Amino acid sequence: MGLIKDVLTKLPTGFATVLKTLKDKPVTVQYPEETRPMSARFRGRHHLKRYDDGLERCIGCSLCAAACPADAIYVEAAENTNEERYSPGERYSKTYEINMLRCIFCGYCEDACPTNAIVLESLEFPTGYTRESMIYKKDMLLESPPISVAATPQRTPPGKYDRPILPYPPIDTAE
């Protein structure tokens, strides 16, 4: 009897709460159709960048792999030639892989890269059903060349790309 009385006295409070919130908009975000605004410092998944002339910025130096605290990056370098050039300088990354299951999105790889080749920027989150699919290979990471610019490898004139780092666009020094 005591239990029934208890329930009956609390029911009106419950109904009142439901009625009070009935006109409120739901707070559930229907991801992935809807997304929340991200912080300006958000780091999404990695991309390997190119220069405007289509050459790859990555020179296969492995500094990103050395800086990675999670040992998530594997780089294997190979030699460029003027007949088959992927990047400025002597070497390019023949193999570039990131194990997204290990990655903690710290951005150290980005900071270590001397050519701004690896950038964490996309809102896309790495997902997959198998361990293998979570190892992102170079073809998944490398961005497309600009429109009407040749992809790599390119045939380039001797002496034009002797240095591994091309000048960056001017840095905005405004405070």
What residues line the site for ligand SF4 (CB under 6 A)? 58-64, 67-70, 72-73, 75, 93, 98, 103-109, 112-113, 115, 117-118
Of 55 and 58, nearer to ligand SF4 (C-beta) is: 58
Task: In angstroms, give the least distance from the CB of 5 to ligand SF4.
Answer: 59
Nearest to ligand SF4 of 7, 123 (CB atom) = 123
**Sequence-separated contacts (24+) of 165-172 with Cβ below 8 Å:** 165/59, 165/88, 165/89, 165/114, 165/115, 166/51, 166/55, 166/88, 168/116
Q: Are residues 82 and 155 in contact, defined by beta-carbon separation less than 8 angstroms?
A: yes
Q: How far is the CB of 11 from ligand SF4 (least distance, A)?
A: 53
Tell the smallest beta-carbon distance from residue 168 to ligand SF4 (Å).
Answer: 13
- Beta strand pairing call for 91-99 and 118-122: unpaired
Closer residue to ligand SF4 (CB): 65 or 149: 65
